[in-house]
Each structure stands twice: as C-alpha cells, then as structure tokens.
Amino acid sequence: MQDNKTLESPPEVQFAGVSRWLKENLFSSLSSSILTVLSIAAVVSVFRAIIGFFISPEREWTAVTYNLQLYMVQAYPESDFIRVWITVGLLIFLLGLSWGFNSLKEKVIIKEWCDGLLKGISSFLFIVLIAPTSVDVEGTTVEVFSNNTRYICLAVGVGLILTVYLLRKTYPKNEIVRDRISFLYLSLLVGSIWIIKVPTVTFTSSNERVDPDPFLPLANTTTIPWTIIFGFMIFAYLIGSFLKAKGKNSMSRLILSSWVLAPLVIVSWIYRKPDFGMSNILTLDIPIAVTFSILGILAIRTLNSEKIVPYQRYITYGMLVLSIVIFFLPVLRQLKILFFITWLLVSVAPTIANSKESAKNLSIVWSVTVFILVLLMRGASSESLIVVPGSSIYGGFTLTWLIAFFGIAISFPFGVILALGRTSKLPVIRIICTAVIELVRSVPFITWLFFWKRYAHTLST
Amino acid sequence: MSIIKSVDVKKWYGDFQALKGISMDVAEGEVLVIAGPSGSGKSTFIRCINRLEQHQDGQIFVDGIELTNDLKNIEAIRSEVGMVFQSFNLFPHLTVLQNITLAPIWVRKKSKTEAEEKAMELLERVGIPEQADKFPGQLSGGQQQRVAIARALAMEPKIMLFDEPTSALDPEMIKEVLDVMKELAKSGMTMIVVTHEMGFAKEVADRVMLFDDGQLVEENTPEEFFNNPKSDRTKLFLSQIL
Amino acid sequence: MKFNKAFWRDVRFLKWAGQIAFLLFIFNLISNFVSQAIENLNATNLPFSWRFLGTTPGVLISEGFVTYPESGLQALQVGMANMLRIAISGIFVATILGTVIGVARLSKNWVVQRSSSGLVETVRNIPLLVQIFFWQAVILSFPRPEEIDRGEMIFDISAKGIAFPWLDAQETSWLFGVWFILSFIAARRIFKWRVSVMESEGREAYPGIASFITFIAWNVGGWFGGYKAVGVIGFVASLLSDGFELLPRIGIQSLIIFIGFYYSYKYISKEIKRTRSAENRGILTDDDIFKIIMAGLLVLILAIGLFLPFGITISDFLVGDEPFFKADWGIPQFLDGVQNRLNWELTGEPFTLSYPEIIQAGQSKFSRYSPDVGKVMSVGYFATWMGVIIYTSVFISEVVRSGIMAVAKGQSEAGLSLGLKRSTLLRLIVLPQALRIMLPPMGNQYLNLAKNTSLGIAVAFPEIVAVGQTIYNQEGQTVAVFLIWMAFYSTVSLVLSSIINYYNRKMKMVER
C-alpha cells in the first residue's frame, strides 16, 4: 500500500494544461488580466519600434560590415595579418586547452536541451511575427522586411520547432555532454561564415558607389583562418581532456601561467614584429640568462646550508641594497630588473626551498622565468618593424582587450594595497588611502580621462 | 466536537510527496504532540492548518470552516490560530510591545491603550514584563521565543500551533520556554506541538502522534506511546531519540 | 612617553617614523607631480591663475540659465546647474521607475515578470555611452520642425527636441514655492495625526485621504493669496539684514571664526569624552591625536585665511591673485535677496502657463523652438537624461528586488499567521525592513547616476565637464578647472552620501 502512495503524482501535474497555466500565470485575477493585456501590448509595440529602429535603412549598417577590419585591428598593415591570426589562434588554442582540461563533462538531458531550444526558437518566431514591414524614413515609407522574407523565416522557424519537438519525443531520457552542444553551436557559427552574405560597399570602375549595396560572401581571408582556428580549438580541447584523463594535475599551473604569459608574448613579440637582431640574443641575452639562472641555482643551494642560515637576513638586505644601487647605475635595463628579481628569489628561497625536492623545483622555475623574462624584454625593447600611419599599432578591438587585460592585472594588486591601507592601524596611511579612494571614486571616470590626457600633454610640451 | 479535522490531506513539492494522506482530528482543549524524524512532514502538516502551505488534496476543517482558496476564510482562520515558529520570526524593527500589539490593532481593530494593557498582561504571563521596550535583537533566544508566544496569544486564538519551538535554543533556555507552554496547556488551550522534547510530551500531552515519510504511523496516549508502542517504527524512533 | 634606550627597536618609534617617512614620500610624489606640471605650464606662458573665473570667456553655452556667461565662474555655474538638473530629476524618476521594475520582477504575472527581467538583463549589459547615443539617435530620427508660426502647441517632438508647456515664474512664485513646501509638512502632520487617532481609538480614520485633501486645500488656498503668509520670512530676513548692516565686516568674520572654533572645540571634547568612557580612561589613541591636530589645523587655516590683512599669503594661495570669495560670505546679500523675494506686498498669480512655439532661427530658413515660451528638452538633455534614468533604474530595480527578497520569508509567514492582510503586511513588516537593506546600495546607485551625467559631453550636453573643457581649451587653465571639477563632484558625493548615511543611522536596527 505504501508503494502505491509513493507513486502517486501531484494533482497539478496530472491535470496540467495550457488553460490551467494561463489561468494561474496570466489571468489569476481581474487586475492581473488587465496587467497581462497591457504589458503584452507594451512589449509588442516597444519591440516593433526597436526592431524598426534597428533595421531602418537610416542606420547604415553597411558602415559596420564594410569597416569591420577597422573595428578589429584599425590600421594594422594587411601584409602582416598573419600576426593577428597567430594572436587569435594562440588565445583560442589556450581557451580550448583549458576548456578541455577543466571541463566538468556535465551531461544534459536531451529533453531539457530541447526545451531551451524551443524557447529560443519561439522567441525568434515572436520577433519575426511582430517585426514591422515598413518604416518611415524622413516622411517616406520604406519596406524593410518584406512579407516573403517573413514567410521564409516563419517556415524555417516552424521547421526547426518540429525537428526539435521530434528529437524531444524520440530521445526523451537520453543524455548528451554539454561541451558537445557548445561545439555544435560553434561549428554552426563557423559553418555560417562560409554561407552568409553581408551587405558591402562596392564601387564601379568610375569610382561611383553601387546602390543598393550588394550582398557578398565573406572573403576567404576571413573564413579560412577561422575554420583552421576552430580546428585548433577542437584539437586543444582533445589534448586538454586527454591530459586531464591522464591525471596530469600539474598541467593546471602550466595552463594558468600560459594565460598570464600569452598577452605579454603577444605584446612583445607577435604583434610588434620586433627588430631584435639574432646577434643580440646570442651574445647578450643568452649569456645573461645563463649567468643569472646559475647564480639563482647557486643561491638556492647555498642559502639553505647550515653555515649560511644565520646570515640569511643580511644577505637579503645586502641584495636589496645592491639592486637599488644597480637600478640607478647606467647599465642595461635587463640587468636592473634581473637584480630585483634575484633579490625576490633570495628573500623567498629559504622558506620555499626547504627540501631537496622543492629546491629542485624552484631551480627549474627560476631558470625558465629568467629565460622568458630576458626574451620578453628583448622583444619589448626592440624597434617595431610594423609601420602604422598616424597611430599606434594597437587599435580597435585589439586595444580593447589589451587595455582590459592589463587594466585588470595592474588595478587588482593596486586595489588590494589600497584596501589594506584603508584598514591599516596607522592613521597617516589609513587617512591617505581613504582620501585617495574617496577622491578618485567620487569624480566621474571621464574627468580622469581628461585629467591624464592633459597631464601627459603638459609633460610632453 | 473536534475543533480541527483533516481528511486524507496530501501535499507535493514538485514530484516529491510530502504528505501522503493524513486523517486526524483534535478535540477542543486537547494537547497534541507530533513527533517524528526530520523530513517526515510534521512541520508541513501543521503549516497546512493555517495555510502557510497549501494542501493539494483532501480537506482540512478548522473550527468548522473548511480551508479553501477563499481569502476571507483564510484570514478568519489565521486570526483564530496562533503560531509559534522555530526561528521566532519576531519583527526586528519593532519593540517587543509593538510586536505584540501590532496584530490586535490592525486585525482586531482594538485601541492602542487596550492592546498595550493586554500585551503587558501577556508579558507578565510569560515572565518578561521588564523587556517591553527593548528590540528583539537585544533579547536572548529564550526570551524571544516567549515574546513570540505572547504575540500569538495577543490575538486570543482558540488554537495554538508550535513548530519545533525549542529546536533553535540553547539547552538552558529550553526550560523557560517549556514552562510557559506547560502553563498554557494547563489553562485549557488547544495546542498542537511539533517537538523533539519527549519529556514535555510525557508530562502534558493528551495524545502523541508519530509521523514518518509523510504518513501518520502511530497515534496513542503518552503512556502507551512511550511504554507500549504499537508499531515497530515507533520503537525504532524511541530507541534513537531517548 | 618614555622610549627604550634602543629606540630603533621601539615599536612606537618605528610606527611613527614609518608613517612620517610615508607622508614625506607621498608629499614628495605629489609635489614632483605638481611642480612638473606647473613648470611646464609656466614654460607655455600660462601660469596657474584663477583670473579666468572673473573675466568674460566669450563662449556660448547651448542651454542653461545663462547662455552667454559674463564670467568663467558663471559659465561653470551654468554647467553645475545643468548637471544638478539632470542628477536630481534623474534620481527622482529613476527611483520610481526602478521600484516599479523591481516589483514587476517579483510579480506572479508571467508576462510582467518576464518582460521586466528581459529589460533588466538587456539594459544593464549595454554600456551607458552606447545607450546615450541610442537615445540621441532615436530623437534625431524624428523629422525637423517644419512649419513656422504654427501657433501655440501642447506637445511636439522633433529632431530639435521635445517641447511642452511650462509654468512661467512670476514675482510671487518664490512665496508660493515656500508655501508649496510647507504643504508637504502640513499633509504629513495630518497623516500622522489621523494614524494616531486610528491607533488610539481603534477606528478607521482615513489618514491617506485626509492628508491628500489637506495638501490640495492648502495649495488651492495658497494659489489665491494664501502665500502672503510666507512674507513673514521675508520680514524677519529684512530685520536680520539690517542687523548685519550694523555689524562691521570684521565682526562677521569674527563670528564665522568663532563658530569654527566652537565646533572644533566641541568636536575635540567629544572625541576625548568618547575615549574616556571606555576602559582606557583618558588615553588618547594615535588616531585621536591625529584627528585633533587636523581639526586644529583646519581652524587655523580658516582663521588666517579670513583675516585677509594678516594672512595675505595664505589667502593668496587659496583664492589666487584676484579674490572672488567675499569676506562676508555673501550673507547680507543673501538676506536682501530673501527679503525682496518673500515680500508680502507682492500680488498676482504665482505662475502662468506658456505654450511652446516654432519660430524662424535668425535670418535662416531653418526653424526652431522659441526659447522664450514653453519648455524645450534639448536633444543632449533628452539623450543624457533617458540614458542615465533607464540605466540606473534597472540597477535600482535589482536593489529593490533583492531588498524585498532579503526580508526573511519567516517575517511574512509570521505576519500572515497573525491574520494580517497582505497590504498591511507589506506596509508594516516587509517594506520597513526592506528599506533598511536597500538604503546603502541605493545610495551607491545615486552616486553612480550623479557621476554618469558627465557622459552628457558625448551628446554635447553642456554639463560641468563639457563646460569646463570648453573653458580650459579657451583659457588654458587646465589645473584650475580640474580642481573645480574635483571639488564639485566631491561635494556632490559627500552631500549625497551624508544624506544616505544619516538615514541609515537613523533607521539602523537595534542589535545586541
């Protein structure tokens, strides 16, 4: 008897139906019904207005499609576009790698996935249905969304709904890994750039603009790299999953440091095309790096020997003084920074490298760091071979993500320092930090923008 | 004449069935203790009695009125049924006195002075008249729960529901709350108490019920319940709790 | 204080030495920074000066209470007024709109709930600048005003802005304005009185209706001459003004300094008392000493700065080579103004209604709205206003929603189990608690709104940043303009946050 009762399902579910749902969620009372009607009317009219606004020929969307290259990289020379693609490829490769490595391999029930898809497609159908046929452009009516297009869109939408519905019916309980769905979406996206046609501005032989703007497929220089990069991404994803399956957990640190390193490498080597000079690297950088890595390894070894232990503190202080002195001497910039890093190593080595194993690890990390640093500095300090007329080589979306990355990287530690200062027990430090915080945040961002611009301007004159 | 009557009450949360057909009745002036493991539906059931939860099947009658979706019935029943919660739920922005007088003024439409006199009387009864002008945040857990009892009593209810009133309290405070409840039981109030305090059940209950897995497993007098239980489930429960 | 012999190991010594070193470092940093800038300015033949505040800048400001400002100071004041216009009206409207959206997101009605969630998710993920440009594009997509001399209109939208009727202030509008503010106080009094009647006698006393009737009756009475009662304030002001005339200027300065000294004395003694009441009786912490020194220094600077003859160098530093701060702080002028505006001998209707008209713009064939009649919301004003309102209101809606949701479910259950009606429950239990939770984040949103008005520069709305930029492009006084910007925005933030803090303290729940 008990078992029978547990199998009983709730009455709502038993008698659930469209009418009941409507009654409960839309027409539960008179005021609710009025609200429903009014808000549907408002939503429909606002949507119509907004869609009409955006698809009106007044908006000149060709300005976007035609200048897309400008939006992405500004005036970066086309002959060196391979560097841009390498940048994108590197970042997306890393993305795929960490995705594969960190994926939870979550499973989605096909039924639920289909429910989500159905919602998405019906929203699309809703927009297609209410989109205005024509808009008013300076007094004249212009057709922007012909009924033929609408019927085609509707047919496609209904077709999709039927397909999804069938899928939902056929495999209601089956599960699918979420990542595969994401790859499906991405491959649809990549596939679409082969098919899609965008309005482009073209000129006749006599340099007159062709009107109306013709729809042309995307250039091969866009479609092919993206397809290859997508392939790379899947490849990286598979590598990531493989490494995870092998239980290589130390990879997570490597991936993280690659993420930190990638923008630096991009800025110093890939995007700039530095005129580094092989001889510089061979005669200057490699000897310096070798010297410092040997120095560091020796320091790690000796600092933990029993004789040295009582003098550790004095060595650290001495190293600090030395690095400050060298900072003000007219030597290579590489040396100045390397001495500071060595001071850091000397001050942390006794606590980190307290066993043979950890000393070995620290030595490896140190050598790699020194080599990478030296090479990065070489790239960053060499002349760039890329010439961009009248502006910096970074522009458009490139500049956006670079500023975002370096902004976050720099402002985060600075913010932590200010926060610690504000909670400090020492009144001078606390008051200064509080004053800085309150002053900076009470003044609008655009004012600071002008401020630094003008300040840089006064310094340069 | 039973003051509360429930017939085959069922309740679901999504696909999970919390109540699987509860039928019972409570006579006027009776003290009923409901025991059971957590998740057995006992709290859900007493929350159904003043419709803080809606039952989806079956019927509940309180003082002869059936609980339906009719707002007027619900409000009428709620003002007849006092409830005390596990987490007190005092209004933190009002003083103790305002907490108690709020409902008499706004629901019973009593005058302020009258409500305050009654409130002071109730505070005397629960033993904390000196705390009248403090805020709930300034009181200990036991004192807060006593204020909550006074607040429920201020509406002069016919029935009092207690939803694990001592579970959130430190051991030394449990006694002061239980003393108030015992005094209340002796005064002839109809009470339904969900609790794990078996000593209280032994001492004052007229009847004890055991809930398990959304069902009423055993219904008995306290003597029989503790000394000579009918079902094996009760024996298991008692062996775990005592 | 007695130091150890080895003072370099003494914690107290190290603490102070470190702090002084830090102070010197910061001071050095700032002075390097400033001197570098000043040096460069001097090299460009534009030494730092406040003089531009007094001279006519020769710029045209497209809207504001003055369009051809007489002085740099006035131009900046127009910018400030324009910014405050948007900020204050924006805060008001965004609060109402945000509350509506927030409550709509909690609605049980599916359409209402979904459409408001959709709105919030869309708007808050689009940068404000883009939204301001969107609203500008919306209004610019309307046709230009075509017909000239169409006569009076009630409402008109065109690419030139939105025109609507407006109340024109008359002589007696100040009197009526004060009367209008008083009407709120009266209505509130009546409301409280009726509530107390309701509570003490236990019968329905209609507080809402009673206060509304009072409000209407008070203002109708005021419109037809009742405002004359406000003239009493003007009379008192005239008496005070006469009193000030009798005082020599030095007397006023002494008074101000005396007040400054008195308040710093009170502040310091309060600080000392506060520390005394604790266990460590009479021992001042480093913090207290620092605060006391700061307060003392401030009063000292105030005292020297105000006695111009003695502190000529400091006053020079503060106000530059042409002092524009009046030594009497404009108190007599202010009192005279009050006396003239709140004069009970004035008669007539406080406001008249004027309708917008389209006129010819100069000799050109273009048309525009007449600036003299009705009110025109310019394109820049509309775009900035709509942008900040819509953008802020979705954030406010989140604050409202989370505030209401943060009131524990148990609270409404307790209220319901006592038999309270849903409306009463909302008014007496949920809202008072939700408001307490909402207040601090709401204050942050208001601050954001005030700051975001500066984006009006993108659509050529002449608020303080835009005007300031115009002025320093003209006069080259970048540093001075930046200082004014910072002072202005800091003041606005400070005022807003002290209002919020005041209410926050007042409504704070008592805890053990």
What phi and psi, each to the nearest 5 degrees, are found at residue A122?
-70, -30
Q: What are the strands, taking DSSP E only, across C85-190? A: 156-158, 161-164, 166-169
Domain boundary among A245, A260, A280: A245
Number of C-beta neighbours around residue A24 at 10 A: 14
Q: Cβ of C22 and A28 within 8 Å? A: no
Q: Which residue has the tokens 């037809």?
A: C224
Chains that contact A by 3+ CB pairs under 8 Å? B, C
If pLDDT is split at 50, 70 and 90, which confidence band does A4 have?
very low
pLDDT tens for B28-68 read: 889 999 998 888 889 999 999 988 888 888 889 988 888 87
Q: Which residue has the tokens 């005396």?
A: C258
Tell me, yes or no, whether A237 lies in a domain.
Answer: yes
Same domain, A157 and A284: no
Lowest-confidence pick of A117-131, A273-287, A314-328, A446-460: A446-460
What phi and psi, each to the nearest 5 degrees, are found at residue C370?
-65, 130
How many CA atoms does the CB half-sphere of A135 hold within 13 Å?
20
DSSP 8-state class, residue C456: G
If pLDDT is split at 50, 70 and 90, which confidence band does C321 have?
very low
How open is the CA angle C96-C98-C100, to the nearest 5 degrees? 70
CA distance B145 to chain A (A): 36
Q: Cβ of A11 and B57 within 8 Å? A: yes
- Closest Cα in chain A to B216: A2
- Closest Cα in chain B to C508: B93
Q: Is B17 part of the contact surface with chain A (CB cutoff 8 Å)?
A: yes
Contacts of C417 in chain B (CB under 8 A): 50, 52, 78, 81-83, 152
CA–CA separation, C237 and C170 (whole Å): 21
Which of B8, B9, B10, B44 best probes binding to A when mutated, by most A CB atoms within 10 angstroms?
A: B10
C190 or C476: which carries more pLDDT confidence? C190
Q: Cβ of A10 and B14 within 8 Å? A: yes
If pLDDT is split at 50, 70 and 90, which confidence band does C427 have?
confident
Same domain, A164 and A227: yes
pLDDT tens for B83-137 read: 999 998 999 999 999 999 999 988 888 888 889 999 999 999 998 999 899 999 8
3-class DSSP state for residue A297?
Answer: helix
Q: Which residue has the tokens 């003055």?
A: C66
Beta pairing partners, C354: C166
pLDDT of A435 higher than 50:
yes
Which of C14, C19, C461 best probes binding to A when mutated, by most A CB atoms within 10 angstroms?
A: C19
Same domain, A263 and A373: yes
Which of B12, B13, B15, B19 best probes binding to A when mutated, by most A CB atoms within 10 angstroms?
A: B12
Q: Is the dihedral of CA A70, A75, A78, A84 positive or negative?
A: negative
- Closest Cα in chain A to B215: A2
Question: Which residues, other chains included, contact B217 with Cβ-Cβ below 8 Å and sequence gap of 6+?
Answer: B36, B210, B211, B231, B233, B234
Ranked by mean pLDDT, which of A425-429, B183-187, C250-254 comes out on top?
Answer: B183-187
CA distance B81 to chain C (A): 7
Same domain, A371 and A426: yes
Tell me, yes or no, whether A30 lies in a domain.
Answer: yes
β-strand pairing of B215-220 with B207-212:
antiparallel
If pLDDT is split at 50, 70 and 90, which confidence band does A205 have?
confident
Same domain, A318 and A397: yes
Same domain, A130 and A184: yes
Same domain, A175 and A278: no
pLDDT tens for A318-374 read: 888 898 888 888 888 888 889 988 988 888 887 877 788 888 888 999 999 999 999
Same domain, A45 and A78: no
β-strand pairing of C375-377 with C161-164:
antiparallel
Contacts of C482 in chain A (CB under 8 A): 447, 450-451, 454
pLDDT tens for C125-152 read: 999 999 999 999 989 888 887 766 667 7
Tell me, yes or no, whether A1 lies in a domain.
Answer: no
Which of B8, B11, B20 best probes binding to A when mutated, by most A CB atoms within 10 angstroms?
A: B20
Q: What is the CA radius of gyration of chain A?
A: 31
Reference B144, options B200, B194, B96; nearest CA is: B96
Average pLDDT over residues A14-40: 77
pLDDT score of B64: 84
CA distance B36 to chain A (A): 17
DSSP 8-state class, residue B34: E
pLDDT score of A283: 87
pLDDT of C267 higher than 80:
no
Q: Is C420 part of the contact surface with chain B (CB cutoff 8 Å)?
A: yes
pLDDT of B216 higher than 80:
yes
Contacts of B56 in chain A (CB under 8 A): 10-12
Across chain C, mean pLDDT equals: 81
Domain that holds residue A108: 62-245
Q: Is A306 part of the contact surface with chain B (CB cutoff 8 Å)?
A: no
Same domain, A313 and A348: yes
CA distance B67 to chain C (A): 14
Q: Is B233 part of the contact surface with chain A (CB cutoff 8 Å)?
A: no
pLDDT tens for C148-169 read: 666 777 888 888 889 888 888 8
Asked if residues C433 and C411 have their Cβ atoms less than 8 Å apart, the reply is yes
Just give the CATH number of C53-164+377-507.
1.10.3720.10
Q: In which element (H, E) is residue B65 found?
A: strand B65-66
Q: What is the CA radius of gyration of chain C?
A: 28
CA–CA separation, C381 and C461 (whole Å): 6
Tell me, yes or no, whether A189 lies in a domain.
Answer: yes
CA–CA separation, C63 and C66 (whole Å): 7
pLDDT score of C289: 66
pLDDT of A95 higher than 90:
yes
CA–CA separation, A411 and A299 (whole Å): 33
If pLDDT is split at 50, 70 and 90, which confidence band does C91 have?
very high
Window 72-111 of B, Cβ < 8 Å to A: none
Count Cβ–Cβ pairs < 8 Å, chain A vs chain C.
107
pLDDT of C397 higher than 90:
yes
Question: Residue C306 burial by CB count (10 A; 0-12/13-18/19+): exposed, middle or buried?
Answer: buried
Q: Cβ of B20 and A6 within 8 Å? A: yes
CA distance B25 to chain C (A): 21
CA distance C436 to chain B (A): 9
pLDDT of C48 higher than 80:
no
pLDDT tens for B148-197 read: 999 999 999 999 999 999 888 888 889 889 999 999 999 989 999 999 88
pLDDT of A163 higher than 90:
yes
Q: Cβ of C411 and B89 within 8 Å? A: yes
The minimal CB distance from A443 to the residues C107, C290, C485 is found for C485
Which of A123, A144, A450, A461 best probes binding to C when mutated, by most C CB atoms within 10 angstroms?
A: A450
pLDDT of A291 higher than 50:
yes
- Closest Cα in chain C to B104: C418
Q: Cβ of B215 and A9 within 8 Å? A: no
Average pLDDT over residues A100-114: 88
C268 or C330: which carries more pLDDT confidence? C268
pLDDT score of A381: 85
CA distance A454 to chain C (A): 7
CA distance B159 to chain C (A): 12
Which of C32, C107, C110 best probes binding to A when mutated, by most A CB atoms within 10 angstroms?
A: C110
pLDDT score of C334: 78
Q: Cβ of C510 and B137 within 8 Å? A: yes
What phi and psi, each to the nearest 5 degrees, are found at residue C278?
-80, -175
Same domain, A184 and A199: yes
Tell me, yes or no, whether A308 lies in a domain.
Answer: yes
Reference A339, options A359, A322, A351; nearest CA is: A322
Question: Helices (H) and strands (E) in chain C — how many of each?
Answer: 17, 7
CA–CA separation, C242 and C230 (whole Å): 19
pLDDT tens for C325-372 read: 445 556 677 788 888 888 888 888 888 888 888 887 777 777 888 878
Asked if residues C324 and C53 have their Cβ atoms less than 8 Å apart, the reply is yes
pLDDT score of C306: 57
pLDDT tens for C101-127 read: 998 998 888 889 989 999 999 999 999
Chains that contact C by 3+ CB pairs under 8 Å? A, B
3-class DSSP state for residue A311?
Answer: helix
- Closest Cα in chain A to C458: A446
> Based on the structure, what is the number of domains in chain A?
3
pLDDT tens for C483-506 read: 889 889 988 988 888 888 888 888
Same domain, A325 and A418: yes
CA distance C467 to chain A (A): 12
C13 or A289: which carries more pLDDT confidence? A289
Q: Cβ of A13 and B21 within 8 Å? A: no
A247 or B212: which carries more pLDDT confidence? B212
The minimal CB distance from B89 to the residues C414, C421, C428 is found for C414
Tell me, yes or no, whether A3 lies in a domain.
Answer: no
- Closest Cα in chain C to A29: C109
The minimal CB distance from A10 to the residues B12, B213, B215 is found for B12
Q: Is B199 part of the contact surface with chain C (CB cutoff 8 Å)?
A: no
Contacts of C408 in chain B (CB under 8 A): 89
Same domain, A174 and A38: no
pLDDT tens for C454-464 read: 999 999 999 99
CA–CA separation, A388 and C245 (whole Å): 70
